[in-house]
Structure 1
């Protein structure tokens, strides 16, 4: 794998754009290559996986011959990507999008010559099942349209490409070089059987365009045993896509400080939400490394209770409650059953079986192996997750969303789970793979769970064993202060058994356990600055050499941790520090406003799974906190 990776330099993550139809999230590079696409869901096997290897692992590149990218952008308030190419002879605009609200999975790519003359080149390499199955491809006439189509199938998957015909790459040299009509619509002489059950490793084509001319391609996924669906009409699909995203985002004021990046971050959180099930994925990718060339490569295409709950809190704070209700319904289905069956994460539709495996045939992003699918952390106990869920559901109540008997029954079951696991050690918010411990953040979130249960009874009139919850809440408070705060260090600690600090301790005020300006928190901030902050002002999650995470190697600073520091600074009176750090962090988003999980300040590159919900919600919270403090002063 090492030699293969060395032959192909990975595209920087900041050069990628996200597309979304609220079911899946492909990544498109600045130079027009769809290097990651899972159809039909975020957690489905990929059909393009060049992101985790080489072009031979699957991609679809559309480019202008002899051209270079002059500009790219999302059309305002949408996930419709527009890329402008300039060549010595003309200008080409490529528009990429997935239409939401459809009952099928489509990727649509439009090319238009806006000036002069250009040639449009395709390189399409379909690789089903993470490049474990190459398709058989044949030519068909899609139902309901006169356009040519190519049907590629392997195992359960089928892809129909509708639009001007592409050809096996080795047949290109014999293609006629006639005008547009013959090139686009006629079956070239000498190649009548190109698609009679052939394995087409690579499909390509070159299409000349003059100013005012345009072409469309629609790639549609379907189950291979079913008849191929009718392709979307590209213009109708584009109009519908623009309307959907602009209507959803219309309430967001993008003119405030950092407003455009907040708008994009809210859009990302929506884009990572499955519109059918309500499941919110942590990221649309797998195995993008926490250290280039390292082994800390994880699959984030699932719904973590913690990540989803924090996302919901953020959306509710910005008056987006529809998606929050959809997530609450997902939660009711996913965690149904006995409280002891609770997991920390589920599939997008609530699946419980997320076995982790390695794809040894993929070279990995920047040679980072292993490439993993599934996530072994699904079996971990993490004491904090119920607290985050209870805080999110409380935010819904406080926003005026009516509780019902089923959702309140769920919350009572969650608190019963906390009771049953009160004395259980866990693996913590960072899913460490070492020995379990009593993590202070986890114990504080358990305190918050009982606190929100009590508040629901006292302020909203619900029923429950409130006296018992009060007793457990008091015990936890006393325990955390006695065992989780080190008087000598003047700091809260990562675990009861250690003197290490952890960036998750910055979340203690969010639980309500302590105030942002509590002397114990201020002392903890000093400890975090001394031990976890690098010379660029960025925070690491914890010291990786402390022995608890059970993993080799290191990792770059986590963006959400530094966003938490901005929030802490703002709420404890350090507004100038908060503003300066927030401005710095905002500059780490790419040109489209997307954040990765981490940032390497030495190379100036984003790292980790991309784009990352954690980072985007952390950014929004930091902006909100600073704005509230400034407004009150």
Structure 2
């Protein structure tokens, strides 16, 4: 998938391109860090040394040019094209000038097996090649520290530039002219150039040889990884891109999975619904693991279970907060960064997330669901057993105790607590899956114990969340407001989708929450009023529900609409504006990419129809 973008240089400058006005951003990374690159080849977002670190490149959230960006600019730019090398996380940007001269920029973060382990340095590699003619380029590298507040001290050598800050020092290795880079001096591109930006460390080999080797090995890694996916027959390119994006959202050092790579992209224009998603939510991570499992990519689950086990042990049978830092940090105190104006000037820019203080009771079900497959899957290098089951039982006991108590709910309402149906549902799922795990482990007494709790919870949820007035399952016990999260009842196996109550609920949700093919989260106003944009995962839940009740053609049509809502590189953010089709919310959103995989797997024709 590629994009062709006509460009008008800003302010009469013969170099450069407009600031990003949309989320048509390429994503590169290596399960240690990531970078977002706009259609003109500018690195506009990258946090170092890890996902939740300092945004060394922060142009996505504004600031004075050229600070906070890494640009390789073409003189008299008129056209830009961007694509991924097939089945990889290697991004190629082509820039063409008014005279038909062109360059290509290949961006990636090295990732491959070396010496029996994955080599994944915190390094961005940028390779620039001539496509035609003798184009003139300008390299502008302007990292900033402390959320844009600190300009680095710069030192240089014959083939490197050091950017020295209070907390970290970064180094550029390049075979381009160091003087041209430091001065932002335009120059003719007559040969291949390489830029390796990362920690303040020396290279073992030559700059060009190292860049070429890293590119070849990284391409090989991703192609091999993609080749092992168990793909559906239809929509394979969309599924592969979604799967790679989910993989890139994993912090392999601990096994954590970030909900998104950005902070403070508004859920809707000018709403201040700006949140920091660069952390690991147990809820989101479970859905990521399950989606990748459906493609037979179980390695991510194994890594995540290591992180999850530390969460469970640390809780010691008590309260589990809904999200953690990717290194298991518990304190994620929220603050406003006054320095940056925000995406398209729409602040505030938030750092940290107050939701770590919340009580969100669905978390206990998400823990058990995230671990459940490990007890049944014989492919795993470290399958779960009795010891792991006993640890999960402490989570289940907590679910039993709080299943009917008020909480902030999965939408993290900050000023309202209710007994949310989705939270009670996930507490039921914890007990239901524990019963199944116990059966697999031949623990008959424990299987019966958890089944009894699950049955009791199920009866109460069916009774107390049903609204006779609305003829639908409501968002809370005894409530009347509608919420898309109740569609998870079918997805987690709580209710037969052919049950008239579930079908009636879907009908009600479509009537009151849908804007054409898109679905909003809920109808009641929250702390910021009523939601304006459609929440992508809710639309995918609707697709799943439609398929389950036999309305398959409708489901396929809506899925095709969602595929068109992606950016030209095949990636989704959190929200879609139903009228303008614009993407809003943090990016790339793992929830949304999960939806692409789940819908394709459910709706695709079977392989045996063509072979």
- Common fold by TM > 0.5: yes
Match of 1:344 among 310, 317, 322: 322
For 2:154, the equivalent position in structure 1 comes to: 137
The Cα of 1:583 is off from its aligned counterpart by 0.8
The Cα of 1:105 is off from its aligned counterpart by 1.2
Q: Calculate the TM-score normalised by the size of structure 2.
A: 0.90
For 2:14, the equivalent position in structure 1 comes to: none
Local SS of the residue matching 1:412: helix
Structure whose alpha-carbon radius of gyration is higher = 1
Match of 1:158 among 152, 169, 191: 169
1:475–1:221 Cα change, 3 Å: same
Asked if the contact 1:124–1:203 (Cα under 8 Å) also holds between the matched residues in 2, the reply is no
Asked if the contact 1:94–1:109 (Cα under 8 Å) also holds between the matched residues in 2, the reply is yes
For 2:6, the equivalent position in structure 1 comes to: none
In 1: Cα distance, 2:308 partner to 2:604 partner:
32
In 2: Cα distance, 1:384 partner to 1:255 partner:
30
In 2: Cα distance, 1:564 partner to 1:374 partner:
28
Match of 2:272 among 295, 312, 315: 295
Local SS of the residue matching 2:469: coil
Match of 1:490 among 435, 447, 471: 471
1:110–1:464 Cα change, 3 Å: farther
Is 1:247 the counterpart of 2:258 in the alignment? no
1:10–1:406 Cα change, 3 Å: farther
For 2:4, the equivalent position in structure 1 comes to: none
For 2:259, the equivalent position in structure 1 comes to: 282
For 1:529, the equivalent position in structure 2 comes to: 510
For 2:188, the equivalent position in structure 1 comes to: 208
In 2: Cα distance, 1:261 partner to 1:578 partner:
16
Is 1:238 the counterpart of 2:248 in the alignment? no
Asked if the contact 2:475–2:483 (Cα under 8 Å) also holds between the matched residues in 1, the reply is yes
For 2:289, the equivalent position in structure 1 comes to: 312
For 1:364, the equivalent position in structure 2 comes to: 342
Match of 1:91 among 82, 102, 107: 102
Is 1:64 the counterpart of 2:74 in the alignment? yes
Asked if the contact 2:467–2:479 (Cα under 8 Å) also holds between the matched residues in 1, the reply is no
Local SS of the residue matching 2:198: strand
Is 1:43 the counterpart of 2:52 in the alignment? yes
1:343–1:255 Cα change, 3 Å: closer
Match of 2:138 among 101, 112, 121: 121
In 2: Cα distance, 1:447 partner to 1:90 partner:
62
CA deviations on 1:353-404 (whole Å, 9 max, x unpaired) are 1111110121111222211011100111112122123223223333334213
1:101-500 equivalences under 5 Å are: 101-102=118-119, 104-141=121-158, 148-164=159-175, 184=177, 204-210=184-190, 213-222=191-200, 233-252=210-229, 256-337=233-314, 338-400=316-378, 401=380, 402-462=383-443, 465-500=446-481
Asked if the contact 2:421–2:465 (Cα under 8 Å) also holds between the matched residues in 1, the reply is yes
Asked if the contact 2:229–2:296 (Cα under 8 Å) also holds between the matched residues in 1, the reply is no
In 2: Cα distance, 1:630 partner to 1:483 partner:
43
Is 1:542 the counterpart of 2:519 in the alignment? no
In 2: Cα distance, 1:517 partner to 1:205 partner:
67
- Out of 261-270 and 336-345, give the one that drifted further: 336-345
Local SS of the residue matching 1:414: helix
CA deviations on 1:449-498 (whole Å, 9 max, x unpaired) are 10111111123324774454333222211211221011232210011142
In 1: Cα distance, 2:582 partner to 2:364 partner:
34
1:325–1:267 Cα change, 3 Å: same
In 2: Cα distance, 1:284 partner to 1:441 partner:
26
In 1: Cα distance, 2:319 partner to 2:421 partner:
24
The Cα of 1:10 is off from its aligned counterpart by 5.5
1:305–1:255 Cα change, 3 Å: closer
For 1:590, the equivalent position in structure 2 comes to: 567
In 2: Cα distance, 1:520 partner to 1:95 partner:
53
Asked if the contact 2:264–2:274 (Cα under 8 Å) also holds between the matched residues in 1, the reply is yes
Asked if the contact 1:295–1:553 (Cα under 8 Å) also holds between the matched residues in 2, the reply is no
Local SS of the residue matching 1:383: coil
Say how many residue pairs are matched: 579
In 2: Cα distance, 1:48 partner to 1:406 partner:
44
The Cα of 1:149 is off from its aligned counterpart by 1.1
In 2: Cα distance, 1:320 partner to 1:357 partner:
37
- Which stretches in structure 2 are left out of the alignment for 5+ residues? 1-10, 12-16, 112-117
- Out of 125-134 and 520-529, give the one that drifted further: 125-134
Is 1:511 the counterpart of 2:492 in the alignment? yes
The Cα of 1:602 is off from its aligned counterpart by 2.2
- Which stretches in structure 1 are left out of the alignment for 5+ residues? 1-6, 142-147, 166-183, 189-199
CA deviations on 1:129-158 (whole Å, 9 max, x unpaired) are 2102110101135xxxxxx21111111111
Asked if the contact 1:509–1:516 (Cα under 8 Å) also holds between the matched residues in 2, the reply is yes
Local SS of the residue matching 1:129: coil
Asked if the contact 1:433–1:551 (Cα under 8 Å) also holds between the matched residues in 2, the reply is no
The Cα of 1:503 is off from its aligned counterpart by 0.6
CA deviations on 1:495-522 (whole Å, 9 max, x unpaired) are 1142111010111112221111211110
